[in-house]
Structure 1
């Protein structure tokens, strides 16, 4: 719990600092529609910092249980520096991102063949990593954009394994390295 409060304090401080230093037309709020489809609350804030550079901080949170004893609980934070090839908030961009996630998953089929045992076990732990991304942002109107992004990179996952989605004592503790997709977003964006 202390770690959550520390992260929230850091994020709140960054938001306060950036909102006090940016002017209009240099900030955007966004929601990743793909995270929305999983029932995860998410929000992103992107701020112009210099020239063709922006800084994006996105977060996702899911704390509810799903039917049939499925668990997909997590808190995720992904800061990213972006370089826009033309205008900020329009067209092609490249990014470098970091990520941290606290998770508790069980009784689910994971994408990309990850966590093969997640159907019959529960995994709880932390993920740290980062990667490179490419994206494109389409102008829909003066204040609205649609943005797509895909990223690949490396993650270190440290976890405990339990025998079922909602019961049991810890079976094992382990860690694994992962290289592959680290970011996938289709976001609806509001520009200030």
Structure 2
């Protein structure tokens, strides 16, 4: 009986807390990722009237014709400052990113990781009471650690490499649903 009562109280608290977060949570997807056949989703939560925290992720498991592939998973947290109010108008942000990748399109295969961060500018248009459209572009840094090898599978043929990348680190045209 006590377990049932405890479970019921937890459920009530959960639904009460969820209702209290109304219009402060957004679910989004980046259309540019979908153009590369990469499923992706992001969740953004309001921290205050001017700050939100987003956690986005993407995963590409596909292999294309002629064994061309670029399999990867990516996680990108982002802290945004809104000049007007959350989920409306101009914003600037700082983002981090981490990923693991494997693939290649020509003569080489790359198997590795990346980590870094950067800065983003964006704008959010309100389409209706629950739907928004967001465009964002970011620049920053990424450190890549990878093994480079010929496209044929050969464990002993790889070469360990690292690379420092400075440039675009985020591009998004996202469809957003706010709760």
Alignment TM-score, normalising by the size of structure 2: 0.87
| Structure 2 partner of 1:136 | 123
Q: For each residue in 1:62-82, what CA deviation from the matched residue of structure 2 results, as whole angstroms up to 9, or x when unmatched?
A: 112111211110000000000
> Could you tell me whether the CA contact under 8 Å between 1:52 and 1:87 is conserved in 2?
yes
> Could you tell me whether the CA contact under 8 Å between 1:22 and 1:47 is conserved in 2?
no
Q: Distance in 2 between matches of 1:57 and 1:168?
A: 36
Q: Could you tell me which of 32, 47, 50 is aligned with 2:48?
A: 50
Segments of 4+ in structure 1 off by > 6 A?
none
Shift of 1:51: 2.7
Correspondence 1:174 to 2:161: yes
Report the CA distance shift for 1:171/1:54 in structure 2 as closer, same or farther (over 3 A): same
Q: Could you tell me which of 156, 175, 178 is aligned with 1:188?
A: 175
Q: Distance in 1 between matches of 2:153 and 2:162?
A: 21
> Could you tell me whether the CA contact under 8 Å between 1:149 and 1:184 is conserved in 2?
yes
Report the CA distance shift for 1:22/1:157 in structure 2 as closer, same or farther (over 3 A): farther
Shift of 1:20: 5.8
Report the CA distance shift for 1:56/1:121 in structure 2 as closer, same or farther (over 3 A): same
Q: Distance in 1 between matches of 2:20 and 2:150?
A: 50
Correspondence 1:162 to 2:160: no
Q: Distance in 2 between matches of 1:77 and 1:156?
A: 15
5+ residue gaps, structure 2: 1-13
| Structure 2 partner of 1:41 | 39
Q: Could you tell me which of 49, 65, 68 is aligned with 2:66?
A: 68
* Cα RMSD after superposing both structures: 1.6
Partner SS state of residue 34, structure 1: helix
Q: Distance in 2 between matches of 1:22 and 1:93?
A: 24
Partner SS state of residue 136, structure 2: strand
User: For this pair of structures, how many residues does the alignment match?
Assistant: 163
Alignment TM-score, normalising by the size of structure 1: 0.81
5+ residue gaps, structure 1: 1-15, 108-118
> Could you tell me whether the CA contact under 8 Å between 1:99 and 1:128 is conserved in 2?
yes
Structure showing greater Rg: 2
Question: What pairs with 1:92-171 in structure 2 (closer than 5 Å)?
Answer: 92-107=90-105, 119-164=106-151, 167-169=153-155, 170-171=157-158
